[in-house]
Amino acid sequence: MTYLRKAFDRAIGQLRSGQAIPLRLELWDGRGFDLGPAPSVRVRVATPGALRYFLQPSLDGLGEAFIEGHIEVEGPLHEVIRSGVALARHGAHGVREWLPRLERHSRALDRKAIEYHYDVSNDFYATFLGSSMVYSCAYFRSEADSIDAAQEQKLDHVLHKLRLAPGERLLDIGCGWGALVIRAAKNYGAIAKGITLSRNQYEFARERILAEGLQERCAVELCDYRDVPGSEAFDKIASVGMFEHVGLKNLPVYFAKIRELLRTGGLVLNHGITSSDADERPVVHGAGEFIERYVFPHGELPHVSRAIREMSAAGLEIADVESLRRHYARTCREWADRLDADRERAAVLAGERRFRIWQIYLAGCAYGFEKGWMNIYQLLACKTQGGAAGSLPLTRDYMYEH
């Protein structure tokens, strides 16, 4: 332990000699270290063993220390994230070497990962998602938009891009709590089907559909996308916030399945988070490792170029590409603020440990999207035949005619 203290003292000296960080470290023995003037964040190190997290700090290690109770943190949530990033920059050389991922993404493995992430508590998710229960990037038409209005706008943005018309059949792959299929049936007159691997989402969506009296035109099923019968044919397909779970090696299978299920001339919209790194390395400073361990087991982010290539290789003609990165930065920030404002109830619903995971995950995502560590794209494509343009008009004007 003497060696650890000496190494910590050297690390503190290096931190102080670099760029100022508005953070104060307080040790169990009463010693304190200010890493910058007027610190807005206070970190209390509970035990001598917790000093190891500051020798070569990373967001993965600091996140572990916080979640497992080895450190206590006080200060404004988004300042905490900025201070953590500043510490991790100093320790960037300590992050382990990147190696390609080898998960097979079997049905059982994917279901287990989805259950871990989503089957926490519907009431817990409601603390930050609100009554809409839409867990994907909102679409802000102006700075004055509330997040609830922006989520409705996102649903409409997706359905307008798809040119969804009354009587058309829509498949929503990874339908969440059912908001998109309900809106498609209720506001657009479509016959909508959603699939999910989360039982909590499935049961919640079914109850909502029944409450809306839409059971004749709207349904959800517990189903893996690979198991949707090929005999089914859909005019339009949406996949919102799901392909991050597919796995890089399974993208050809995923897009081929979509093409199989789509009628000729039909449209598909894939809305998903992508890597900003062309080589698809994990998110910087250990953030990717943290998300893998605590939030999204087996999640993988393709670069948008890979998504476009695999979509095209499956026989889907890309018609439109739109980045929503700035929209997701604001969405995650508002989610983080909502969760923080209802922290006592959220901690009861999910447990203190899981609440801590989500607290720093959402705030960290807001920072990451703001800084361009990740991106998010909507890719609109058509199943064409013989060069025909399907149901798409000549210009993109139709997307905004509402």
pLDDT tens column, 204-234 = 999 999 999 999 999 999 999 999 998 889 9
Give the mean model confidence (pLDDT) for residues 35-53: 94
For 247-278, what is each residue's pLDDT tens digit?
999 999 999 999 999 999 999 999 999 999 99
Strands 71-74 and 41-45: antiparallel
Note whether 127 and 314 are within 8 A (CB).
no
Distances in Å between the Cα of 357 and the Cα atoms of 90, 189, 346, 360 are: 23, 40, 12, 6
pLDDT number for residue 6: 87
pLDDT > 70? residue 332: yes
pLDDT number for residue 119: 67
Distances in Å between the Cα of 173 and the Cα atoms of 31, 158, 166, 264 are: 54, 13, 20, 19
pLDDT number for residue 96: 47
pLDDT > 60? residue 382: yes
pLDDT > 90? residue 297: no
- Residue 401 token pair: 């005619």
What are 125-133's contacts with CB under 8 Å, separation 24+? 125/177, 127/338, 127/339, 127/342, 127/345, 127/346, 127/349, 128/335, 128/336, 128/338, 128/339, 128/342, 128/346, 128/358, 128/362, 129/335, 130/338, 132/179, 133/176, 133/177, 133/178, 133/179, 133/204
- Residue 278 token pair: 């062309």
CA distance 220 to 182: 10
Burial category of 387 from C-beta neighbours within 10 Å (exposed 0-12, middle 13-18, buried 19 and up): exposed
CA distance 370 to 376: 12
Distances in Å between the Cα of 92 and the Cα atoms of 78, 82, 89, 273, 294 are: 21, 15, 5, 24, 20
User: Binning pLDDT at 50, 70 and 90, where does residue 385 land?
Assistant: confident
Give the mean model confidence (pLDDT) for residues 301-322: 97
Give the mean model confidence (pLDDT) for residues 14-18: 85
User: Binning pLDDT at 50, 70 and 90, where does residue 149 land?
Assistant: very high
User: Binning pLDDT at 50, 70 and 90, where does residue 144 land?
Assistant: very high
3-state secondary structure 263-317: EEEEEEEEEEEEECCCCCCCCHHHHHHHHHHHCCCCCCCCEHHHHHHHHHHCCCE
Specify the higher pLDDT residue, 12 or 205.
205
Q: Which residue has the tokens 């890309």?
A: 318
CATH homologous superfamily for the domain 107-400: Vaccinia Virus protein VP39 (3.40.50.150)
User: Binning pLDDT at 50, 70 and 90, where does residue 294 land?
Assistant: confident
Catalytic residues: 365
pLDDT number for residue 106: 74
The structural domains of the chain, with segments of one domain joined by +, span 2-94, 107-400
User: Binning pLDDT at 50, 70 and 90, where does residue 104 land?
Assistant: low
User: Binning pLDDT at 50, 70 and 90, where does residue 191 land?
Assistant: very high
pLDDT number for residue 91: 74
Out of 59-63, 135-139, 267-271, 384-388, pick the least confident: 384-388
Give the mean model confidence (pLDDT) for residues 294-316: 93
pLDDT > 90? residue 65: yes
pLDDT > 90? residue 111: no
pLDDT > 70? residue 46: yes
pLDDT number for residue 99: 46
- Angle among Cα 104, 105, 109 to the nearest 5 degrees reads 115
pLDDT > 90? residue 108: no
Fold for the domain defined by 2-94: Nonspecific Lipid-transfer Protein; Chain A (3.30.1050)
Give the mean model confidence (pLDDT) for residues 95-102: 48
Out of 61-75, 80-94, 281-295, 339-353, pick the least confident: 80-94
Whole-model pTM: value is 0.91
Give the mean model confidence (pLDDT) for residues 151-171: 98
Over the chain, what is the mean pLDDT?
91
CA distance 325 to 280: 17
Strands 317-323 and 41-45: unpaired
Note whether 232 and 210 are within 8 A (CB).
no
In sequence order, what DSSP letters do the residues of 199-228 get, joined into one string?
Answer: HHHHHHHHHHHHHHT-TTTEEEEE--GGGS
Note whether 268 and 381 are within 8 A (CB).
yes
pLDDT number for residue 293: 86
User: Binning pLDDT at 50, 70 and 90, where does residue 97 land?
Assistant: very low
User: Binning pLDDT at 50, 70 and 90, where does residue 98 land?
Assistant: very low
Give the mean model confidence (pLDDT) for residues 174-184: 97
Q: How far apart are the first and last CA of the chain?
A: 66
Give the mean model confidence (pLDDT) for residues 11-17: 87
Question: Containing H/E element for 15?
Answer: helix 2-17
